[in-house]
């Protein structure tokens, strides 16, 4: 027992900085800048300050309260809302986001109205559907949307983008990127606009990024998971040279008992509608930890010790601890996949602690690579 709260997520800011600098250098060497996506850390000002200290000017989040949290912390950055605001959110979107991703002209009319009331200009990036079937304007309809967008007083067409590999797992291939570049060229010619952003996607673009000889018009990505977890999101394999242990989940043992490995009695559905099927391995030493599905996604956890996850309910995580010397009060550490990180950082019942006390709000101690800003860098 350490006296520190459990369950908790331990965050290594120094390792996060390593990842952010590595990605800045990689993207910048190809003339691409990126928006650092903070939704998986709920807009943590400490994380955001570290990213700003790395020379990253743009911070993105899907939740307006997270943008507000970072902006109110005093961080000078460009703030991007990476989920289209609902019509009811137009006013607060303009208050806390400098730019937002959009697909619906009705929403952009609301944004324009809110911006005019405030005497400001809100920038929009139009998202184009290229096959993943989440958000996006069909390519055949984009000209009509652009025509109306550029006539709106209060919004500025800042660029176009696409999203792949999030809902349907569609790979961001060179062909998809060329299609987006072609659409950008066509829109500029037909409508007499200059697109600041041609946003090719998200962390799933890593394989394309390292393999393409020429990114073409693509000058922007929205990067979260690969920066936070150091992995290629298409394969979940570590990216060479990246830190994969920025975040560690720690939970405490509240029971150790030797029990049968198979439940006994009439089996029906569990609390989450599943019908468990467990192999009979005889009596096994089982540890119960004080964390559950309300706090984390068990399937995305990997214990950092020789133990297997048997199952979880709302508030309990059960391990086969036969090969360990765990005791009541012991702490168990876990690697987290993206879904586990997202839920643990969102849970109010999981403490968030920082493993070092460096003040990353001061950029003087952080080396910024030569290519950190990239082509098409954001305005200061």
| Cα torsion 309, 281, 331, 272: sign | positive
Q: What is the pLDDT along the chain (380 residues), one digit of tens a residue?
A: 557 899 999 999 999 999 999 999 999 999 999 999 999 999 999 999 999 999 999 999 999 999 999 999 999 999 999 999 999 999 999 999 999 999 999 999 999 999 999 999 999 999 999 999 999 999 999 999 999 999 999 999 999 999 999 999 999 999 999 999 999 999 999 999 999 999 999 999 999 999 999 999 999 999 999 999 999 999 999 999 999 999 999 999 999 999 998 888 888 887 788 887 788 899 999 999 999 999 999 999 999 999 999 999 999 999 999 999 999 999 999 999 999 999 999 999 999 999 764 443 333 333 333 333 333 333 22
* Residue 362: predicted pLDDT: 36
Same domain? For 184 and 310 the reply is no
Cα–Cα dist 38/353, whole Å: 17
**Does a cis peptide bond (omega within 30 degrees of 0) precede residue 7?**
yes
pLDDT given for residue 356 in this prediction: 61
What is the per-residue DSSP string for 227-281? Answer: HHH-EETTTTEEPTT--S-SEEEEEEEEEEEEEESS--S-----TTS--------
The secondary structure element, H or E, covering residue 161 is: strand 155-161
- 273: CB partners within 8 A, 6+ apart: none
Residue 359: partners with Cβ closer than 8 Å, 6 or more residues away: none
User: How many domains in the chain?
Assistant: 2
Helix axes 142-149, 174-191, angle to 10 degrees: 50
- Please identify, among 163, 194, 229, the residue that sits at the C-terminal boundary of a domain: 229
| 276 lies in the same domain as 140 | no
Query: In this structure, are 101 and 221 located in the same domain?
Result: yes
What is the rounded CA–CA span in Å between residue 176 and residue 167?
16
Domain of residue 179 covers 12-229
Element spanning 332, H or E: strand 331-336
Please check whether residue 24 lies inside any domain of the structure: yes
The verdict on residue 236 lying in a domain is: no
Residue 2 has a pLDDT of 57
Q: Which of 264, 245, 251 is nearest to 318 (CA)?
A: 251
Does the residue 159 lie in any domain? yes
What's the confidence (pLDDT) of residue 270?
A: 77
Give the tokens for residue 85: 């605001």
pLDDT of residue 370: 38
Residues 213 and 298 in one domain: no
- Same domain, yes or no: 108 and 145: yes
Residue that finishes a domain, picked among 229, 263, 283: 229
- Looking at residue 361, what is its pLDDT? 39
| Pick from 80, 112, 83, 108: nearest CA to 96 | 80
Give the CATH number for residue 263: 2.40.30
Residue in the block written with tokens 């559907």: 129
Would residue 65 count as lying in a domain? yes
Domain for residue 282, yes or no?
yes
Q: Is residue 64 part of a domain?
A: yes
Out of 229, 259, 288, pick the residue that ends a domain.
229
Bridge pairing between strands 220-223 and 308-312: unpaired
Same domain, yes or no, for 263 and 205? no
Domain co-membership, 316 together with 209: no
Please give the C-alpha separations between residue 227 and each of 13, 18, 20, 41, 66, in angstroms, as whole numbers: 12, 9, 6, 12, 18
Judgement on whether residues 211 and 255 belong to the same structural domain of the protein = no
48 near 29, Cβ under 8 Å? no
Residues 39, 113 within the same domain = yes
Token couple for 253: 């043992």
Contact predicate 154/122, CB 8 Å: yes
Residue pair 360/313 in contact by the 8 Å Cβ criterion: no
Which residue among the candidates 39, 194, 333, 352 is catalytic per the annotation? 39
Q: What is the pLDDT of residue 267?
A: 82
Q: Is residue 1 part of a domain?
A: no
Secondary structure letter of residue 173 according to DSSP: -
Examine the domain organization and report whether 112 and 172 are in the same domain.
yes
Q: Is 18 helix (H, G, I), strand (E, B) or coil?
A: helix
At residue 274, the pLDDT reads 80
Domain-located, residue 367: no
144 and 118 in a common domain: yes
**Taking the C-alpha atoms of 297, 299, 305 and 311 in order, what is their torsion angle to the nearest 10 degrees?**
90
CATH number at residue 170: 3.20.20.10
Clarify whether 39 is annotated catalytic: yes
DSSP state of 82: -
The SS3 of residue 101 is: strand
* H-helix or E-strand spanning residue 335: strand 331-336
* Claim to verify: residue 25 and residue 167 sit in the same structural domain: yes
Residue pair 97/59 in contact (Cβ under 8 Å)? The answer is: no
Given this model, what pLDDT does residue 264 score? 85
HEC string of 32-72 equals CEEEEECHHHCCCHHHHHHHHHCCCCEEEECCHHHHHHHHH
């Amino acid at each position: 027992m350490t006296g520190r709260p459990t369950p908790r997520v331990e965050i290594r800011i120094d390792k996060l900085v390593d990842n952010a600098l590595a990605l800045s250098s990689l993207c910048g060497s190809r003339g691409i800048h990126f928006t650092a996506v903070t939704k998986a850390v709920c807009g943590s000002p400490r994380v955001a300050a570290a990213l700003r200290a790395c020379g990253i000017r743009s911070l993105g989040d899907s939740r307006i309260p997270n943008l507000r949290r970072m902006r109110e912390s005093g961080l000078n950055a460009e703030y991007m809302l990476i989920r289209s605001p609902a019509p009811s959110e137009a006013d607060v979107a303009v208050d806390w986001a400098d730019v937002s991703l959009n697909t619906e002209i009705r929403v952009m009319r609301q944004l324009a109205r809110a911006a005019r009331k405030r005497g400001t200009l809100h920038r929009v990036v139009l998202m184009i559907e290229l096959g993943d079937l989440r958000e996006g304007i069909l390519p055949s309809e984009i000209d009509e949307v652009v025509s109306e967008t550029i006539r709106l007083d209060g919004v500025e067409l800042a660029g176009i983008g696409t999203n792949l590999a999030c809902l349907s797992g569609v790979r961001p291939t060179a062909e998809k990127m060329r299609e987006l570049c072609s659409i950008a060229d066509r829109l500029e010619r037909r409508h007499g606009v200059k697109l600041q952003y041609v946003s090719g996607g998200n962390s799933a673009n890593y394989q394309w990024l390292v393999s393409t000889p020429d990114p073409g018009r693509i000058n922007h990505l929205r990067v979260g998971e690969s920066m936070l977890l150091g992995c290629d999101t298409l394969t979940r394999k570590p990216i060479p040279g990246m830190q994969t242990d920025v975040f560690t989940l720690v939970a405490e043992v509240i029971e150790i008992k030797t029990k049968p490995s198979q439940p006994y009695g009439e089996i029906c559905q569990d609390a989450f509608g599943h019908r468990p099927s467990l192999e009979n391995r005889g009596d096994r030493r089982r540890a119960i930890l004080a964390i559950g599905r309300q706090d984390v996604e068990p399937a995305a956890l990997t214990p950092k010790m020789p133990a297997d996850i048997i199952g979880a309910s709302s508030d309990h995580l059960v391990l086969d601890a036969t090969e360990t010397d765990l005791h009541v009060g012991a702490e168990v550490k876990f690697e987290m996949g993206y879904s586990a990180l997202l839920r643990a950082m969102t849970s109010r019942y999981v403490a968030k602690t920082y493993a070092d006390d460096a003040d990353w709000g001061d950029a003087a101690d952080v080396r910024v690579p030569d290519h950190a800003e990239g082509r098409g860098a954001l305005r200061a």
